């Protein structure tokens, strides 16, 4: 089955810096790659997603890139703000199941 | 985005009792629902996938008889933790998917078994 690896596990940046989180997946049949932001005790919120027929997608300060050949995808957050502090999960889906990465705790210091 | 409602948000139960958690899609038909378990500071671990009207597919290591899943309609799935024990204490969260690949999450249920 699908296996998703995510790193780093923790990431500390200064406000205004960029943050990059990377994930790799194992199942070449996976075709949908969402990123979620989860605050403590709350549900994961979808922040951006990308499908396998697209290499890059951007939404304001957030962008995601996908390299299907290498089976990895990345989340890029520019001009980080303290409210970006949370745990971020990548995920990959093949036929049905959404498999999550291990999460990255992002801390943005003012 | 679509709305998925899960309740209760918190429940405390005695060891040996059963607890039912509901997950409802409020404005779309959820052909597939997923149940996850999340330990503190850990990722979401898929427990089972359910399609409306059919039996749930459980992930390896998840006890079918302990975690009963029912997906009786296109808007409702339930997870029943039977004969709960303290080690079942966790954050349980559902997600629902319709025609699009995007999955929408419920608010989660924090279960504490005492």
pLDDT, tens digit, for every residue of A3-29?
A: 899 999 999 999 999 999 999 999 999
Answer yes or no: do B42 and A43 touch at CB < 8 A. no
**Chain-wide mean pLDDT for chain A?**
94
Give the residue, A17 or B1, on which the prediction is more confident: A17
The model's pLDDT over A33-58, given as tens digits with 9 standing for 90+, comes to: 999 999 988 999 999 999 988 899 99
Asked if the Cβ–Cβ distance from B105 to A44 is below 8 Å, we say yes
Cα atoms in the 13 Å half-sphere on the side-chain side of B102: 16
The contacts of residue B104 (CB under 8 Å, 6+ apart) are A46, B1, B2, B3, B4, B25, B95, B96, B97
Q: What is the share, in percent, of chain B residues with pLDDT greater than 90?
A: 75
* pLDDT tens sequence across B89-104: 999 999 999 888 888 9
Nearest to B43 among A41, A46, A103 (CB): A103
Predicted confidence at residue B1, as pLDDT, reads 65
* pLDDT at A74 > cutoff 70: yes
Question: What's the CA gap between B88 and B82, in Å, rounded?
Answer: 10
Q: How confident is the model at residue A1 (pLDDT cuts 50, 70, 90)?
A: confident
pLDDT tens readout for residues B32-86: 999 999 998 889 999 999 988 888 999 999 999 999 999 888 899 999 999 999 9
Task: Give chain B's mean pLDDT.
Answer: 93
Tokens of B22: 């509901």
Interface of A with B (CB under 8 A): 31-32, 34, 41-46, 49, 51, 89, 93, 96-103, 105
pLDDT score of A66: 96
Torsion sign, CA atoms A46, A11, B36, B106: negative
Interchain CB distance below 8 Å, A49 and B102: yes
Locate the chain B residue with the closest alpha carbon to A87.
B41
């Amino acid at each position: 089955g699908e296996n998703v690896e995510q790193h780093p596990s923790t990431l500390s940046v200064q406000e205004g810096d960029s943050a990059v989180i990377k994930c790799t997946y194992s199942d070449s049949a996976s075709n949908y790659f969402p990123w979620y932001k989860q605050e403590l005790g709350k549900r994961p919120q979808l922040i951006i997603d990308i499908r396998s027929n697209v290499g890059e997608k951007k939404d304001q300060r957030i962008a995601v890139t996908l390299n299907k050949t290498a089976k990895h995808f990345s989340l890029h957050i520019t001009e980080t703000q303290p409210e970006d502090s949370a745990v971020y999960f990548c995920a990959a889906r093949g036929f049905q199941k959404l498999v999550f990465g291990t999460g990255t705790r992002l801390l943005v210091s003012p | 985005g679509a709305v998925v409602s899960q309740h209760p948000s918190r429940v405390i139960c005695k060891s040996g009792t059963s607890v039912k958690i509901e997950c409802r899609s409020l404005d779309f038909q959820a052909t597939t629902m997923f149940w996850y378990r999340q330990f503190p500071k850990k990722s979401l671990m898929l427990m089972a996938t359910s399609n409306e009207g059919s039996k749930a597919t459980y992930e390896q290591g998840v006890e079918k008889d302990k975690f009963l899943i029912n997906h009786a309609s296109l808007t409702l799935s339930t997870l029943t933790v039977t004969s709960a024990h303290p080690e079942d204490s966790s954050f349980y969260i559902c997600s629902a998917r319709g025609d699009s690949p995007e999955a929408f999450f419920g608010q989660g249920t924090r279960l504490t078994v005492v």
